[in-house]
Amino acid sequence: MLKIAVLGTGRIGRMHVDNIVAHPKAKLAGVFDVNNAVAQEVAGKHHAKQFSSVEDVLNASEVDAVLIATSTATHADLIEQAVAAKKAIFCEKPIDLSLDRVKSCEQKIKGTNIPIMLGFVRRFDKGHRAVRTSIEAGAIGDLHQVIITSRDPDMAPDAYIEVSGGIFRDMTIHDFDMARFILGENITEVSATGSRLVNNALMERCNDYDTVTIVLKTASGKQCIINNSRRAVYGYDQRVEAFGSKGMAISENHPMNNMRLYAENFTDQKPALMNFFIDRYGEAFNNEISSFVDAVEQGKNPEVGFEDGKQALMLAEAASRSILEKRIIRLDEI
Amino acid sequence: MLKIAVLGTGRIGRMHVDNIVAHPKAKLAGVFDVNNAVAQEVAGKHHAKQFSSVEDVLNASEVDAVLIATSTATHADLIEQAVAAKKAIFCEKPIDLSLDRVKSCEQKIKGTNIPIMLGFVRRFDKGHRAVRTSIEAGAIGDLHQVIITSRDPDMAPDAYIEVSGGIFRDMTIHDFDMARFILGENITEVSATGSRLVNNALMERCNDYDTVTIVLKTASGKQCIINNSRRAVYGYDQRVEAFGSKGMAISENHPMNNMRLYAENFTDQKPALMNFFIDRYGEAFNNEISSFVDAVEQGKNPEVGFEDGKQALMLAEAASRSILEKRIIRLDEI
Amino acid sequence: MLKIAVLGTGRIGRMHVDNIVAHPKAKLAGVFDVNNAVAQEVAGKHHAKQFSSVEDVLNASEVDAVLIATSTATHADLIEQAVAAKKAIFCEKPIDLSLDRVKSCEQKIKGTNIPIMLGFVRRFDKGHRAVRTSIEAGAIGDLHQVIITSRDPDMAPDAYIEVSGGIFRDMTIHDFDMARFILGENITEVSATGSRLVNNALMERCNDYDTVTIVLKTASGKQCIINNSRRAVYGYDQRVEAFGSKGMAISENHPMNNMRLYAENFTDQKPALMNFFIDRYGEAFNNEISSFVDAVEQGKNPEVGFEDGKQALMLAEAASRSILEKRIIRLDEI
Amino acid sequence: MLKIAVLGTGRIGRMHVDNIVAHPKAKLAGVFDVNNAVAQEVAGKHHAKQFSSVEDVLNASEVDAVLIATSTATHADLIEQAVAAKKAIFCEKPIDLSLDRVKSCEQKIKGTNIPIMLGFVRRFDKGHRAVRTSIEAGAIGDLHQVIITSRDPDMAPDAYIEVSGGIFRDMTIHDFDMARFILGENITEVSATGSRLVNNALMERCNDYDTVTIVLKTASGKQCIINNSRRAVYGYDQRVEAFGSKGMAISENHPMNNMRLYAENFTDQKPALMNFFIDRYGEAFNNEISSFVDAVEQGKNPEVGFEDGKQALMLAEAASRSILEKRIIRLDEI
């Protein structure tokens, strides 16, 4: 039984709590949140301990690991503290919006053998993962092209967008990680184009884009296309396609349900696709915890770690610069 | 918070425990199982009480409801005892293999206003339910034909089949309930045909069938076809199709994952479909508990109850007799 | 080049003319129709001969084969005459609505080695045929169950229905032949149920049914379910499913086009499926002519012949009797 | 009846002949090919005239229109001659591989009111066209992104590739036209990236690419991604996706047939998709002729004409230059 304390009991934190509680090899060691009432409710429901501070959590001998689901700005600090306290770490993405802060954190924790897993949950989606597995099994031969379609069901609130760090750091970051996961080879070139088609006024104010296309290339010539939109009215559009010398593997969308209607006035459920990321990737969030528990218990490296978080952020930087400078950016420029 | 005690912590009982623990409006009040070790492990994991007997459970004031997941032969007795103890009841199907025992149980609990919900889980599957909802919303007009395809991924062990009560009582029982759910009208005629194609020797020994087709008809002429097989090598085949004057609604199968492979030698995952009923109907089992919790808390009748269990068993009787007598059986003959 | 004369230049006859004209190994030897104007137009368009009578056609030395696309009542006579004239025969289904007439025709042409092909076009559909081919290749192991769904896009005009010979002889006849094609084994038992749900008044007047379910069984216990409706508002619903010990093969429907729409108010094309039999089975009609040409040129038996026409009609008889007598009919009773 | 003479009776020319012959409003006025034997065979089969020269065709009063299916190098000359002879023109794509030659041809035929239709057949595909129609009907709102996937089933012979003019002029040219058709707005920016992954040696020798990604942008910010490969082992991969403010429309691939297999060792037909362009776009080739016949008979402009041919070639030029200069090319630079 891995005893995990959860830091941050907001929406995502509570979901992780449920997954830990139901997990056969994990136990909820307690919770902490700056919002005392929320933490109390979660603890009460599960007869679990409510810690009074992060320090308490990190000092508690009954805590094997911490799951960091607090706000982004605290992630790097908490990683550094947890490493010092020798607690295994599961941290929600991103490490930080600033590449400099990520690098300073990296310096600080250098040489640690504390397991650190980063919450790039999509790697644990059964369909996306089956694409990767197919490639590794040789089912599609040499990989030539990857197409990642990733569209949110709707624009986040303005207040969120304004501090999000921009579409590449906030949204495409997942797709950059997916590209790395599927390509299995270092990316050398990044070019990007952006448009303001969903909410032009907000995007102009934030100097941001709501509709982007990014083309990545590896040293051997593999190509990866990412296309993003901040709003797909038909639901959460999440597809990964890998094309190679011997075939193609596609991780298809998840319909709202498996009912199909054939009628005179063909009106199916709306939206057509699953809408909420906790629904769409619910099983992946579960698998992710399993993967973390297994890694810690078996002393293996987590499947996705600190370096992956840093690399995805570097790709985001490159994409931003490509739009500014209207040219292909080599990753070694970042 | 509805405080639910779970009787029987075998495979299905433990799954219900996990669903209760994660449910925002339910709490695990404790567990009991004749296998002490198994019950102890489940209780330990969730800091929950391990009761020492059914009586203890039924006498406990902190228990609002019981979930009966013990062996079939005990269901009717436990229902009677729980009604007497005034505990709300969720009982796994079937009530009993014998229609006589079901009728005697019915007599005993007559007049109770204790909520009794029967675990016909498929009614809570999002896709099957969307078919029903479409019909109610008029999307396919007047209902004309229903086709239920229901094939198990593999034959249960011989020892299980031998005491199962036969394919109609054991397996088709779910489909009889689905037929009633989708048709929304009393069934008046039943005809059935059976073959021994999967395991002829076993079926002959048990005087049972592994491959059956049943045709049901309602008073107004609606037709329903059920086809069953004890073994579908490609996985758990579970489809419901409703055809009407204005269209058709189909609840399609659930693929193992949403990855599709297009290759020279097209070899996809095996099996193609989800295989294990707890995976395939995992979400439905969750929804089922929600429905039970809501019914009890809001003082409503559970969506599927004792009478539904009895009616499904009567259809099973009629199907058995149809094969024996090689004729259409009117339900009023049962 | 097989020189084929077409008798009857109505809708189906003209379609066959186009297929013959475009076929690399066939040539249009001429046309005849009792409607002189229509025949003239068809002949003119293709610089082809317009014959003045059936006798002229059958006496013409430049005619190798006749394609009979005249009205049903003339089929048996024309087959007898063409056999006498030693012309290879392609005849649209059915041979006749009366089993007696079919049997007398059979007697008359007994012993001939003139190739006679019957237009059960669905056997030449790529998808349905691939199901058969998969079975022959062992891809699904031993065949256990077949499900044929066959629903017309709309009710034919009353005047047509009144003289159609009833749903089994007019519509299900295709499905009976498909059942024989897929089962590959003699059918021994037939049971049927019928309802009047689409047009009750017309059906009562004609003593006919618009919604039927038929269950067939072979000596070895293979089961086949056919379900028919005279009206599916979403288009021409034509599916064939074969289930066996090692898998399942399904010939799926043909959507109107391959465009899928995911929108807020999900409104796709109507109807969803192809609507017109000449569209849906257009390619099959072409393949059918190819099969006929190849058989005649290579001196092989046509893939579907007189006996198949007779057997399908016998199944129609059995189904009619099953409804009347409310019991399973053994085919050896017909 | 539009009387059409076909110039060039190679593979594509013969297919057009069959479509003309079967078309209710067209008549084959005759054929010409520099290969006398081939032309003779085609003429003989259809009782049609074999012309002895292009001049004969253009002088023939019984010829209303010419269909140019000769080799690419002759297209521009034949267009000029046919315009002079006042024959309506259907010309296979491309007009010429050289943009200069296209511009000189444009000068020469300037001011003509002779209908000229260019054979961008994909515009007549039911699925692709339904995407365009959906956009025009407002079904997906404002258009934001278009994704065109276009992969050939296999590399053409080396000898063909060597004189093809490169992937952009030879293969992507179809996708450039599709992009223009779907976007419905002028393209202002082109960027491209190319790799040599299918046949590196051949591509190096020809200074060509076999795997390319092109990103197009319009003045209003609409984005279009084209991805091409010279070899997709699973068949001819042809998809068009349009994403907008109110939804998404996808023209999906055409499977080899509509049979689906679910088996232990899931082995479906190979290739999975239609393989041969005349099969895949067979219906579109038919619709294309209909569109031409209707335009000429009704005195309307053909749906796709000379200017479309020129614009697609300009996009090909821009893509080539983008790879060379490693930057975004504005279309006004071409």
Is-contact A248 D234, C-beta < 8 A? yes
Chain A nearest-CA residue for D226? A225
**D193–A215 C-beta distance less than 8 A:** yes
Give me the pLDDT at residue C326, please.
87
| CATH (domain of C69) | 3.40.50.720
Which comes out higher in pLDDT, residue C157 or D280? Answer: C157
Domain boundary among D61, D93, D114: D114
Interface test with chain A among D140, D143, D149, by most A beta carbons within 10 Å: D149
How distant is the Cα of C67 from the closest Cα of chain A, in angstroms? 37
Tally the domains of chain C.
2
How distant is the Cα of A130 from the closest Cα of chain C, in angstroms? 22
Compute the average pLDDT of residues C11-39.
94
Query: Is there a single domain that holds both residue B83 and residue B10?
Result: yes
Strand ordering across the sheet containing D247-251 = C259-263, D247-251, D237-244, D143-151, D223-229, D211-218, D187-195, D329-330
| Interface contacts C/D by beta carbons within 8 Å | 103
Pair of tokens at residue B172: 């088709």
| Interface contacts A/C by beta carbons within 8 Å | 43
- Quick check: helix, strand or coil at residue D187? strand
Query: Is there a single domain that holds both residue C107 and residue C128?
Result: no
Give me the pLDDT at residue A268, please.
52
Q: How confident is the model at residue C265 (pLDDT cuts 50, 70, 90)?
A: low
Pair of tokens at residue D154: 């296999």
Give me the pLDDT at residue A331, please.
94
Q: How confident is the model at residue C173 (pLDDT cuts 50, 70, 90)?
A: very high
**Chain D residues touching residue A197 (CB < 8 angstroms):** 142, 144, 221-222, 245
**Chain A residues touching residue D199 (CB < 8 angstroms):** none
D155 contact C CB<8A: no
Residue A165 lies in a domain: yes
Give me the pLDDT at residue C231, please.
95
How distant is the Cα of C142 from the closest Cα of chain B, in angstroms? 9
pTM above threshold 0.80: yes
A130 contact D CB<8A: no
B197 contact C CB<8A: yes
Which residues of chain C from 29 to 58 reach within 8 Å of chain D, CB to CB? 45-47
Query: Is there a single domain that holds both residue C42 and residue C106?
Result: yes
Q: How confident is the model at residue B303 (pLDDT cuts 50, 70, 90)?
A: very high
Query: Is there a single domain that holds both residue C185 and residue C76?
Result: no
Least confident among A10-24, A46-60, B79-93, C248-262? C248-262
Distance CA A118, CA A92 (A): 6
Residue A148 lies in a domain: yes
Give me the pLDDT at residue D22, please.
87
Give me the pLDDT at residue A1, please.
86
**B262–D267 C-beta distance less than 8 A:** no
B144 contact C CB<8A: yes
Q: How confident is the model at residue C270 (pLDDT cuts 50, 70, 90)?
A: low
Q: Is the pLDDT of residue C283 over 70?
A: yes
B247 contact C CB<8A: yes
How distant is the Cα of D7 from the closest Cα of chain C, in angstroms? 18
Q: Which residues of B44-66 are buried (b: 16+ CB within 10 A; e: fewer)?
A: ebbebbbbeebeebbebeebbbb
Distance CA D308, CA D119 (A): 10
Residue A294 lies in a domain: no
Chain D nearest-CA residue for A270? D247
Q: Is the pLDDT of residue B202 over 60?
A: yes
Give me the pLDDT at residue D271, please.
65
Query: Is there a single domain that holds both residue D315 and residue D173?
Result: yes
Secondary structure string (H, E, C) spanning chain B: CEEEEEECCCHHHHHHHHHHHHCCCEEEEEEECCCHHHHHHHHHHCCCCECCCHHHHHHCCCCCEEEECCCHHHHHHHHHHHHHCCCEEEECCCCCCCHHHHHHHHHHHCCCCCCEEECCHHHHCHHHHHHHHHHHCCCCCCEEEEEEEEECCCCCCHHHHHCCCCHHHHHHHHHHHHHHHHHCCCEEEEEEEEECCCCHHHHHHHCCCCEEEEEEEECCCCEEEEEEECCCCCCCEEEEEEEECCEEEEECCCECCCEEEEECCCECCCCCECCCHHHHCHHHHHHHHHHHHHHHHHCCCCCCCHHHHHHHHHHHHHHHHHHHHCECEEHHHC
Query: Is there a single domain that holds both residue C150 and residue C265?
Result: yes
**D234–B264 C-beta distance less than 8 A:** yes
Interface test with chain C among A151, A254, A266, A267, by most C beta carbons within 10 Å: A266
Domain boundary among D93, D114, D135: D114
Which residues of chain A from 255 to 274 reach within 8 Å of chain B, CB to CB? 256-264, 267, 269
pLDDT tens digits for range C81-138: 999 999 999 999 999 999 999 999 999 999 888 999 999 999 999 999 999 999 999 9
Query: Is there a single domain that holds both residue B94 and residue B38?
Result: yes
A235 contact C CB<8A: yes
Residue A289 lies in a domain: no
Calculate helix-pair angle for D173-183, D126-136, nearest 10 degrees: 30
Query: Is there a single domain that holds both residue B55 and residue B107?
Result: yes
Which residue range(s) make up the domain with A110?
A: 2-114
Give me the pLDDT at residue D142, please.
97
Pair of tokens at residue A144: 């030539």
Q: Considering CB atoms only, which of D145, D232, D248 is closest to A211?
A: D145
Give me the pLDDT at residue A282, please.
87
| CATH (domain of A198) | 3.30.360.10
**Chain D residues touching residue C18 (CB < 8 angstroms):** 22
Q: Is the pLDDT of residue D268 over 80?
A: no
Rg (CA), chain A: 20
Query: Is there a single domain that holds both residue B109 and residue B134?
Result: no
| Interface contacts B/D by beta carbons within 8 Å | 42
**D269–B266 C-beta distance less than 8 A:** yes
Give me the pLDDT at residue C214, please.
98
Is-contact D64 D27, C-beta < 8 A? no
Which comes out higher in pLDDT, residue C320 or D263? Answer: C320
Q: How confident is the model at residue D265 (pLDDT cuts 50, 70, 90)?
A: low
Q: Is the pLDDT of residue B270 over 70?
A: no
Most confident of B180-184, C279-283, C325-329: B180-184
Interface test with chain D among B151, B253, B257, B262, by most D beta carbons within 10 Å: B262
**Chain B residues touching residue A238 (CB < 8 angstroms):** none
Interface test with chain C among A253, A262, A267, by most C beta carbons within 10 Å: A262
Query: Is there a single domain that holds both residue B164 and residue B106?
Result: no
Domain boundary among A68, A97, A114: A114
Distance CA C162, CA A261 (A): 33
Interface test with chain A among C259, C262, C265, C270, by most A beta carbons within 10 Å: C262
Q: Considering CB atoms only, which of C198, C215, C247 is closest to B193?
A: C215
How distant is the Cα of B261 from the closest Cα of chain A, in angstroms? 4
Predicted ipTM? Answer: 0.92
Q: How confident is the model at residue D47 (pLDDT cuts 50, 70, 90)?
A: confident
Compute the average pLDDT of residues D213-242.
96
Cβ-proximal residues to B304 (8 Å cutoff; 6+ apart), any chain: B117, B118, B120, B123, B177, B181
CA distances from C287 to C240, C279, C284, C291, D285 (A): 19, 14, 5, 6, 19
Least confident among B4-13, B256-265, D82-91, D209-218? B256-265
Query: Is there a single domain that holds both residue A85 and residue A153?
Result: no
Pair of tokens at residue B199: 């395991």
Proportion of chain D above pLDDT 90, given as a percent:
84
Give me the pLDDT at residue D269, please.
53
CA distances from A66 to A36, A218, B97 (A): 18, 36, 50
Query: Is there a single domain that holds both residue C22 and residue C160?
Result: no
pLDDT tens digits for range B149-170: 999 999 999 999 999 999 999 9
Q: Considering CB atoms only, which of B263, B264, B272 is closest to D262?
A: B272
Residue C282 lies in a domain: no
List chains touching B (3+ CB pairs under 8 A).
A, C, D
Q: How many CA atoms lie within 13 A of D334 on its CB side?
A: 25
Q: Is the dihedral of CA B251, B252, B258, B260 positive or negative?
A: negative
Q: Which residues of chain A have pLDDT under 50?
A: 267
**C18–D259 C-beta distance less than 8 A:** no
**D273–B266 C-beta distance less than 8 A:** no
Give me the pLDDT at residue D103, please.
97
Q: Considering CB atoms only, which of A262, A264, A270 is closest to C266?
A: A270
**B235–D263 C-beta distance less than 8 A:** no
D67 alpha carbon, distance to own chain's centre:
14
